[in-house]
A = this chain, B = another copy of it.
Amino acid sequence: MSNTHPLQSHTVADILALIQREARRVTSYDVATLAGVSQSAVSRSFKPGASVSKATHARVMKAASQLDYTPNAAARSLNTRRSNLIALIISDRANLYFPDVLAELSRQFALRGMRILLFTLPSETEIDQVLSEMWHFQVDGVVVAAHLSRAQVAEFSRRRVPFVLYNRQLRDANINAIVCDQLEGARQLVSRLAGFGHRRFAIISGPDDSVIARERMRGSVERLAELRLPAPLIVGGGDDYASGVRGLSEILEQLAGPPDVIICCNDVMAIGCLDSARHEFGLDVPGQLSITGFGGIAPAAWISYGLTTVRQPVQNMAQAAVEMLSTLIDKGSSAPERRVFSATLIEGQTARLGAPL
């Protein structure tokens, strides 16, 4: 940057006129000129704990106020090594969870003076490209709501960028993570359904790249095997209403009649499956067929649905992620910790859980 300044006079009006003429923003050099101090003195005045006399500090603050100067975060971050930017890596699919998680994380980080820089992924498998872009931003930390490979985890360590996995985990690795116990949630759901007489299970799986959906499916399948019940019919699903509608029709084609229950690996599919069962196939849910979801999104509780589902404590999980990442940023590395939240079975009106065997 230039060390000379074309300004001759030092009044507020002249400096503002010059800035106007040059169609640029106010810089620390303008403040230095008006205050009659060096640019370095201006920098030091805005740097917490830096050496600067009281008189100089006062002159700089007065000039900054007259020129309406705000030291920009980029310049400040070079001094404090803090940008107050938190990267959030999250799938951009039309997931009805998105607003809850995002709004809660944003609120919680804002309370600590930090802001979310958003990196949305078209698919969880396209994370490499997003990471290589992210390294160019000096973020203080990262919340990763997507699946990381071991190589990617190693890159975070090598670059010394603190991160927290949100609702994901990596087996056999010590990583800071906030998770909901999907496996246990699925096991409890199956146990309860089996306890109330459900025998023939079908499952609509989630998107191929969703680790969470796979865990939900695995927990269900494992528990069914332990209970010596028939292996479930599994059909492919996705992340939207339409895949629940398609999943149901595929299940009904493959089986002689409806199964006892269809476990859908997320709520929005369960809602599609439920609507189609009732309104397209004229099935009595739960009389002839139980349907369950996973997640606990707002529409699951709407009167038309009253979905039986396994709810994740989104608010608590988001708070925990913010706390954990803030601590990592403030204190540097600490012993890796995994905070595991339990899911809660919500007994709605779409599964026969009312009368024990």
Q: Which residues of A contact B (CB under 8 A)?
A: 1, 23-25, 68, 70-78, 83-85, 92-96, 98-100, 102-103, 106-107, 110, 113, 115-120, 122, 133, 135-138, 158-160, 241, 271-272, 275-276, 279-280, 298-299, 302-305, 332
Contacts and interface: CB of A to CB of B under 8 A. Distances in A.
Contacts of A75: 74, 78, 138
Contact of A302 (B70, B71, B135, B275): B275
A19 to B, nearest CB: 9
Contacts of A122: 107
B116 A74 contact: no
Contacts of A72: 136-138
B103 A99 contact: no
10 contacts: A1-B78, A23-B160, A73-B136, A85-B137, A102-B118, A107-B122, A115-B117, A116-B117, A116-B118, A241-B302
Given A74-B78, A159-B25, A271 B135 contact: no
Nearest 9 A/B pairs, CB to CB: A275-B303, A72-B138, A92-B103, A98-B99, A74-B74, A106-B120, A73-B137, A304-B304, A116-B118
Indicate how many identical chains form the complex. 2
Nearest to A280: B303
A131 B96 CA distance: 28
A353 B68 CA distance: 57
Q: Which of A93, A94, A119, A137 has the most CB of B within 10 A?
A: A137
Nearest to A268: B298
Given A159-B25, A304-B279, A138 B103 contact: no
B106 A92 contact: yes
A119 B280 CA distance: 43
Given A275-B304, A303-B279, A137 B115 contact: yes
Contacts of A272: 302
B83 A74 contact: yes
Given A106-B118, A136-B73, A275-B302, A332 B23 contact: yes
A118 B118 contact: yes
A264 to B, nearest CB: 15
Given A99-B98, A275-B302, A275-B303, A92 B120 contact: no
A279 B96 CA distance: 24
A116 B87 CA distance: 10
Contacts of A102: 98, 102, 118
Contacts of A106: 92, 118, 120
Nearest to A97: B99
Contact of A276 (B70, B116, B303, B305): B303
A263 B282 CA distance: 30
A116 B134 CA distance: 12
Contacts of A92: 103, 106-107
A134 to B, nearest CB: 8
Given A23-B160, A304-B304, A115 B118 contact: yes
